[in-house]
Chain A
Amino acid sequence: METFLSRYRNISVLLLLLAGQLLLLAYQVKTGQDVRLIRVWAVTAAAPLANVSEWIRERGARLGEMFAVEGLRQENARLKAELGQIKVQNHLLRAGITTADRAKALAIYAETSPSKLLAARVIFLGTGANSRTVFVDRGSRDGVMKGMAVITPDGIAGRVSAAYPTASLVSLVTSQGFAAGVISQKHKIRGTMKGVGSSLCPVDHIENRDTVEAGEWLYTSGDDRIFPKGLPAGIVRSAREGRGGKDVVAEPVGLRAGVNEVLIVTGGVHGLIPDPLPPSSPSVQILPPPPQEAGEAPLEDPGTTGGPVRTDADRLMEKYRRIGESQGHTYGAGPGRVPDFNRPPAAAKPAVPPPQGEAAAAPPASPAKPNPVKPGPVNQR
């Protein structure tokens, strides 16, 4: 035996190493669990080096700025950051404004707390050819957990695959094995957008009878319990009938501007899917609303009357409310004098009296202005 081992020592060690790793692989596949310790060691060893490299690169870049174009890059970075914030705000506002019932959408936004976002910087890429994974500089110490959604101002970017103390692994939208529940904007068709390792993502689970058009936007549906509903996910590039269902291919929008900085959703809040914009034609002109004439009944303003007034029943209820107010009657306050519903109610007072000289020219009632909705606290570094 001893002679055998000494004679075949090299091959024995090789077989031992291979068998050990095969067992490791089999354990992971069989149990679905990760060998976290080895990964923590590797990430803890690599992350400081990458951070130091990044620090040196940033300082070098700043030194270059001093000698080259003073302030221009900083200004550019500031504008980019502002643009990102505005994109998020714009998306949230658009979702609210274009909803059928604007006042309701605003009420929903006012009542719901916005998503909590944590800004993170990509420090290095994942290994392996075509891996499409990145490491960010926020880890479990910052409250990052496996499964959290990762977004950019343009849309969804990926999800946290593993959270280590000092860094987290993020699988990008295009990575193999990624999946997100999506819903089409126009026809409200649900599907699953999957990453396959290329720049485009197939969208599965769509029947041939469902209508999905090229150019249609896809938003997160919230069904996956990872991404909050209403975030832009992609644009349909092609849709045609297939054997097991519709073959839909989408281009993810969250990675368009690169993934140098991302936002981790630590507390997600579902939003709304914005309605598609109505088709517009440059050859058709639409005038602004006409000015109010003297004696004409003012248009109802949801912003001043406390709610949306759209149907006949709403108008009737509003009329009765005014009659009650003008005659000092409180509905539901118990038995008392019945108001005279034949007497015309007092005219509604405008919320803010228009200044002299502008009253005739000003439109009778402006549409309700939405309260600006903040996208939520972003913890900047």
Chain B
Amino acid sequence: MNPFEEKLLPRKARGAASSKFNPLVWILAPLGAIVFQVYVPRLIETLSYLELPLLMTVYLALMRRSPIVGAATGAVIGLMQDSLSHQYLGMFGIVKTLVGYFAASVSMRFDVENSALRFLLSFFFFLFHQLFVWLLTRALLGQPMELQIPQTVILAFLNAVVAIPLFLLLDRLKSEAR
């Protein structure tokens, strides 16, 4: 096993386990992310590119390492996000359910405490999220929606950059390891 594989292999295989959070963190962190998304861009418009609810879904799913919990977390965050929009309930819910499920599945195979991997996963899941929202809007609802690929890639990069310090900050909220 080379050092690179050693770094990326799941901790579970090496004795590591899923992280545990205080129940308040499970409630307040996603709520805070959603309030941030709807409130802060009013004051600083340039921060509207941040998709904090998505990053929160990815983080909680990665750390919990359970596809069921990841999918349920994504569903709840997505539905709440839907509730604060003028679109149908379920659009963000479906997409974030998938994101949570896949993120948790990935976490069972790789060491998700590695910052480079976190960056890559945040970048990938942002693209996946935007692509799926576009697909569902067009295919399920039949509504016109533009997908500007260069802009989406740049936003994915910026979100991934923000994800690294954010995830490190959230790591401090872990109560214990099981």
CB of A131 within 8 A of CB of B86, answer yes
Return the CB mask of A141-175 against B: 1 if under 8 Å, else 0.
00000000000000000000110000001010001
Interfacial residues of chain B within 50-107, with CB under 8 A of chain A in the complex = 53, 67-68, 71-72, 75, 79-94, 97-98, 101, 105
CB of A21 within 8 A of CB of B86, answer no
CB of B90 within 8 A of CB of A21, answer yes
Return the CB mask of B105-149 against A: 1 if under 8 Å, else 0.
100000000000000000000000010010000001101111000
CB of A128 within 8 A of CB of B41, answer no
Chain B residue numbers with a CB within 8 Å of A286 are none
In the assembly, what is the distance between CA of A125 and CA of B97, in Å? 23
Interfacial residues of chain A within 100-144, with CB under 8 A of chain B in the complex = 122-129, 131, 133, 135
In the assembly, what is the distance between CA of A123 and CA of B84, in Å? 12
Closest beta carbon of chain A to B136's beta carbon, Å: 9
What residue in chain A is nearest B49 (Cβ atoms)?
Answer: A129
Interface assignment of A24: CB less than 8 Å from any CB of chain B: yes
Chain B residue numbers with a CB within 8 Å of A35 are 89
CB of B68 within 8 A of CB of A46, answer no
Chain B residue numbers with a CB within 8 Å of A122 are 42
Interface assignment of A338: CB less than 8 Å from any CB of chain B: no
Chain A residue numbers with a CB within 8 Å of B79 are 21, 38, 42
CB of B88 within 8 A of CB of A28, answer yes
Interface assignment of B38: CB less than 8 Å from any CB of chain A: yes
CB of B38 within 8 A of CB of A39, answer no
Interface assignment of B39: CB less than 8 Å from any CB of chain A: yes
Q: What is the predominant secondary structure among interface residues of chain B facing chain A?
A: helix
CB of A50 within 8 A of CB of B35, answer yes
Task: List the interface of chain A (C-beta within 8 A of B).
Answer: 9-10, 13-14, 17-18, 21-22, 24-25, 28-29, 34-35, 38-39, 41-43, 45-46, 49-50, 53-54, 57, 122-129, 131, 133, 135, 161-162, 169, 171, 175-177, 196-197, 260
Known: A25-B90, A35-B89, A38-B83. A124 touches B38 (CB 8 A): yes
What class of interface size applies to chain B in its complex with A?
A: 35 or more
What residue in chain B is nearest A125 (Cβ atoms)?
Answer: B38
12 A-B residue pairings within 8 Å (CB atoms): A14-B68, A29-B88, A29-B141, A38-B79, A41-B83, A42-B79, A126-B85, A126-B86, A133-B85, A162-B86, A197-B145, A260-B42
Chain B residue numbers with a CB within 8 Å of A29 are 88, 140-141
CB of A125 within 8 A of CB of B91, answer no
CB of B38 within 8 A of CB of A28, answer no
Known contacts A38-B83, A49-B35; 13 further A-B pairs (Cβ under 8 A): A17-B75, A18-B98, A21-B79, A21-B89, A21-B90, A25-B89, A28-B89, A38-B89, A49-B39, A125-B48, A127-B38, A196-B144, A197-B145
Task: List the interface of chain B (C-beta within 8 A of A).
Answer: 31-32, 34-35, 37-39, 41-43, 48, 53, 67-68, 71-72, 75, 79-94, 97-98, 101, 105, 130, 133, 140-141, 143-146
CB of A46 within 8 A of CB of B97, answer no
Chain A residue numbers with a CB within 8 Å of B35 are 46, 49-50, 53, 124
Most buried by A among B34, B71, B84: B84
Chain B residue numbers with a CB within 8 Å of A25 are 88-91, 94, 140
Partner of A18, one of B42, B97, B143: B97
In the assembly, what is the distance between CA of A10 and CA of B61, in Å? 13
CB of A46 within 8 A of CB of B31, answer yes
Known: A14-B97, A42-B84, A43-B84. A24 touches B90 (CB 8 A): yes
Chain A residue numbers with a CB within 8 Å of B32 are 49
Closest beta carbon of chain A to B35's beta carbon, Å: 5
In the assembly, what is the distance between CA of A177 and CA of B97, in Å? 27
Known: A14-B67, A49-B31, A57-B43. A43 touches B83 (CB 8 A): yes
In the assembly, what is the distance between CA of A57 and CA of B39, in Å? 11
Chain B residue numbers with a CB within 8 Å of A39 are 83, 89
What residue in chain A is nearest B146 (Cβ atoms)?
Answer: A197
Chain B residue numbers with a CB within 8 Å of A260 are 42
In the assembly, what is the distance between CA of A29 and CA of B137, in Å? 12
Chain A residue numbers with a CB within 8 Å of B143 are 176
Known: A124-B38, A126-B38. A24 touches B141 (CB 8 A): no
Known: A13-B71, A43-B84. A128 touches B89 (CB 8 A): no
Closest beta carbon of chain A to B49's beta carbon, Å: 8
